[in-house]
A and B are shown apart, each in its own frame.
Chain A
Amino acid sequence: MERLDSMKRNKPLALVAGAALLTLAACGGGSSDGGGSNGGTDREFGDQEGGTKDAARKGPAAEIEGAATGGTITVYLPGDPGPDSLDPTTGWSVTGNSIQQALTSRSLTQYARDENGQPVLVPDLATDLGTPNDDYTEWTFTIRDDATWEDGKPVTAEEVAFGICRSLDSEAFPSGAGTEYSKTYFKDAADYEGPYTGKDPNCEKWDGIAVDGQDITISMAKPFPDMDYWGAFMTMGPAPLGNASKPPNYGNKPLANGPYKVDSFKPNEELVLVKNDQWSADSDPARHQYADEFVFKFNQDQSKVDEIMLSDNSDSQTAVSTGLGSDKYTDANGQLGDRLVQQTSQCVSTLTPDYDQITDINVRKALAYAYPYEDVWIASGEVPGVTRVPANSIMPPGMAGKKDFQVDGEQITYDPEKAKALLEEAGVEMPYPITMVYYEVDPLAKAAQDQITKGFEASGFKVKAVPVQESPYNIWLDPDNKVNKTLNLRGVNWCSDWPSGSTMIPSLLRGGAVYNTARFDEASVNDEMDNIATLPLEEQADAWGSLDEEIMTDYFPIIPTAFRNDLFVFGTKIGNPTGDGSIGAPNYKDLYVMQ
């Protein structure tokens, strides 16, 4: 899912901060770095091969050693507006999904964190990870009979089927993840308008799903081997039948079936979750119910939160922060020890040269050499080597099948001379004109743009940077936008939805894909993407890796500028301070308050 560069603004009038993103993925490994110059703790990212599964995992989840019950955990989310709605069907952001999937809203499958810190796909409402037929065009899940709603009623297979059916209503839930996956893969989904838009409140007109006792069978329009991963999205979970779950009201206070339920929700401000006493630990293989209460505070001021977390006062001891200002990294690294957690977020930042206008591969490579990587990271408030690490291709590190290769033999770094040589080789006029946009409301974005302009102009380009006051995605994704029509360099930050190349490469580089801001469209590559989906499951990962390398080597249509990592800060009394490798968020499922 898209991700806007975090906007750490410290002004009272934060105008916009759209940052929707989802990373459901394996925790990957960049090289360990970031010891800091002042002798702080050396940190390591866990390495992982991506995508372990355990279909037999049974509830209750194993106890965390030393865990205690009780207490309130406060979570500060600096610069993050949080979800607008809590409806599970509409969620497709790291913030909303990480909170709700871990605490309130169950789905077919889920992730558990194993002892090495790696996410393992385990059953949730289903008794196993689903049974596909031979060509992955039909998946059957058996719904467990001991899961309950917060009002004590059992979660039925019909309700799960109805919830899945809701995900097809792309008009009622335009930002939902179902618009990408349910719509594409489920049988006859493209023609079905959904229960609300299609005036079909009981979902009778769609025959892609069949309920037989506790069994749910979903038919696919084309092979979908990743259905078990897709089942871990909360949109693949139950919804109360009929009017009880009608949008948009349901989004204010959805019926919970996880260990916590919604006590109060003020969008962009605060979400309070309290214990759901109807949830039974025996029915859930991965969640815990240690703390009495979770309080999520959205849109917090980064520097204020940093001060609170570093002060170690009584407020901060039971608090968690989902971000750390780069100006605090050195202090925090020395002071916090294990309580500062670095988590790879399975995201890549890219620049996307317009494939129709910048047709010469040498010009595209020249752009890669003209980009002053480290300077841009510093100016935009990132910590080089810690929250941003150099990238070689689209697939993030640790993703199954990723090849360890470099397009030009070694990591591309800022090298203006090499860029000029490439431009000369391409035989284009110099300076070569580049038009791009930047988000002028954010001083960090402006500072980063200054660095990019500086680097490009030293390398034989001439930059016209157009200031815009809305999210650059609104410009890049709107083909009719007058500013967009003038651009020949765009960008996109993308996170995987689960640890497979199928959530990275087609989304960014398939001809006509929404987020294909490079407008890259090569028939052979498109065919290869379609082809990989039909390969045997065990060959797909490698095939994606090879395609990744082939695209970068032969076409270089997209310039990966960085792989992204997150920093989380935990208070001294928060037990088990860890990150959730599946989604790039704190590991809410396993947190507790030390007593």
Chain B
Amino acid sequence: MSADTAGPETLGSLSDEPQHQDPNSQQAKEIAGKSPLRIALGRLARDKIAVVCAVVVLFFIICAVFAGPISHLFGVSLETPLASERVDGLNNNMPKPEMGPPFGPFTWEHPMGVAPRTGNDNLAYWLYGCRISLLIAASATLVASVTGVVVGLLAGFLGGAVDKILSFFVDTFLTIPFLLAALTLAPILNERFALYDSYATIQKFSLVVVLALFGWMGTARLIRGEVLALREREFVQAARVMGMPTSRILFKELLPNLAAPIIISVSLMLPAFVAAEAGLAYLGIGVTDGVSWGQTILQAATPTYFREYPQYLWQPLLGIVALVLSLNLLGDAIRDALDPKTRR
């Protein structure tokens, strides 16, 4: 990070320069020979919150990747059951007692119970919902950060007309209201692709595009600012004088120095997209086939269900909260670990 973003912790120092160390001291010897990234990882490993969050994130990733085998292990699936077999149409459409809570005891056949009204298995829907959530958020993050980094690099380094044009695009995209655009796009896509067999895939793909389309500007601005500062530094000037091609300067000289801001923006983008995906699914745009935490919340958020069967709402809600919270805290920890000026 550039100096001006250093946290308040560093303000007490008299100087921005790293503290002077005796090169022969014990501490200096430990650091010697380690890359900055290794040092950061070491700091991260000592951060208890970061470790806990990483474990939680890892748990969700395992759930997402192995959704199929885990469901198989528990003997549950996404398959639609006949509603009358699992729910009682004359008892507020609540699950029958033999299906587990809220009216029956826990049963291994449906470890997380079944949904009221449809009788879908909650565990299977939770696992696959986790997969959709992470898949869409990760893809959108990848696309958005690559776009943002490239645009930021070019705009910052080339300057002049290129910078003006690219900055104009950044500003333009920032002015388009995201929710409105997403809402308009859903019927258009439906109109065009409703008859395709791969409609569900197209829907998810377009969701990734929409999220990425409105998510890259922040990264682009951040990177542009960093590059503007870096390109006047001696090592870049030197490379230029030596006649290095622009692409080489960009990717060999500048990019490694941008690792910290990129990792930080990625780690903050990911939870934002998880939340956005659930929010859009709740609004009925984005994923509409029911396999999404947002859609489960939409169905569970009625007063009767919440009063009599609160687990149904808590399950997806806890999933989102735990995932977003740990991703955010992990992002913060990474930011701190990568910044040599922070003291924890």
Contact = CB atoms under 8 A, between A and B. Distances in A.
Nearest to B188: A469
Given A36-B91, A381-B117, 6 more contacts: A11-B282, A306-B304, A326-B117, A328-B304, A381-B93, A454-B81
B39 to A, nearest CB: 48
A329 B117 CA distance: 13
Interface stretch (B219-227, B240-248, B295-303): B295-303
B90 A327 contact: no
A447 B295 CA distance: 12
Interface stretch (B132-140, B168-176, B250-258, B284-292): B284-292
What band does the interface of chain A fall in when counting residues whose beta carbon is under 8 Å from B? Answer: 35 or more
Given A372-B82, A441-B284, A469-B187, A378 B290 contact: no
Contact of B284 (A13, A330, A385, A486): A13
Interface in B261-304: 282-284, 288-290, 295, 298-299, 301-304
19 contacts: A9-B284, A11-B283, A306-B303, A307-B303, A325-B302, A327-B92, A327-B302, A330-B90, A330-B91, A375-B83, A378-B84, A378-B87, A378-B117, A385-B89, A441-B288, A446-B288, A450-B118, A451-B82, A467-B288
Interface string B178-221: 00000100110011001101010000000000000000000000
Most chain B CB within 10 A, of A38, A331, A446, is at: A446
Given A327-B302, A379-B118, A384-B89, A468 B283 contact: no
Interface string A523-534: 000000000000
Q: When A and B form their complex, which 9 residue pairs have the shortest distance between CB atoms, in order from nearest?
A: A375-B83, A327-B304, A378-B83, A450-B80, A384-B89, A378-B89, A469-B190, A469-B187, A303-B302
A375 B80 CA distance: 11
A383 B90 contact: yes
Contact of B92 (A331, A440, A450): A331
B118 A447 contact: yes
B232 to A, nearest CB: 48
Interface in B84-99: 84, 87-93
B148 interface: no
Given A303-B304, A327-B116, A440-B288, A467 B299 contact: no
Nearest to B88: A37
What band does the interface of chain B fall in when counting residues whose beta carbon is under 8 Å from A? Answer: 35 or more
A482 interface: yes
A454 B82 CA distance: 7
A31 to B, nearest CB: 15
A330 B92 contact: yes
Interface in A494-538: none
A483 B194 CA distance: 8
Contacts of A13: 183, 283-284
A375 B288 CA distance: 21
A470 B197 CA distance: 19
Contacts of A385: 89-90
Contacts of A303: 302-304
Most chain B CB within 10 A, of A12, A36, A303, A486, is at: A303
Given A378-B87, A447-B117, A466-B194, A10 B302 contact: yes
B314 interface: no
Contacts of A443: 284, 290, 295, 298-299
B305 interface: yes
Contacts of A326: 92-93, 117
A377 interface: yes
Interface in A281-336: 303, 306-307, 325-331
B310 to A, nearest CB: 14
Contacts of A454: 80-82
A446 B295 CA distance: 11
A482 B183 CA distance: 23
Contacts of B117: 326-327, 378-379, 381, 447
Interface string B90-120: 1111000000000000000000000011100
Contact of B190 (A306, A375, A379, A467): A467
A468 B194 CA distance: 7
Most chain A CB within 10 A, of B87, B91, B93, B303, is at: B93
A483 B303 contact: no
